[in-house]
Amino acid sequence: MFLNQFLLLAAILFCIGVYGVLARKNGVLVLMSIELILNAVNINLVAFGAYWHVNDMANVSGQVFALFVIAVAAAEVGVGLALVLLIYRNRQSIDIDDVDMLKG
């Protein structure tokens, strides 16, 4: 297997996620697109980790960093969904276009 297979798959997923963040206006769907982006990064980390592991058996840094990213993603979704719920409670909709009070 080539290293590039996994890196290109991750690049495609990352770009789909970026499109989702830009094109969606529903708060929950934007968070889902962010999950896609974080997953793409994780695939990259694990692929590079496996690549280095072949040469240096004691080195599993790629996996460790992927685990850290998973944990941070879980925290991010928790806080993000709490914010979405708060927006919904205040304005009965989760369109992030409506949240423009800072515009003046």
Partner 1 sequence: MLALLVAQNIAFYIIAALMVVGAIRVVTTKNVMHAALWLVLVLSGAAAQYILLAAEFVAITQVLVYLGAIIVLFLFGIMLTRAKTGNDDDLDNKKSAKFIGAGIGVLLLGLMSFSLIDGFKDTEFGDLTVQRTAEVSDSIFSTYLLPFEVLSVLLLAALIGAIVIARRD
Q: Which of residues 18-37 bind partner 1 (CB under 8 A)?
A: 18-29, 31-33, 35-36
CA distance 103 to 51: 48
When binding is defined by CB under 8 A, the residue of 34, 53, 90, 99 that contacts partner 1 is 53
Q: Site residues for partner 1, window 63-102 (CB under 8 A)?
A: 63-64, 66-68, 70-79, 81-86, 88-89, 94-95, 97
Residue nearer to partner 1 on the CB measure, 66 or 101: 66
Contact of 18 with 37, CB cutoff 8 Å: yes
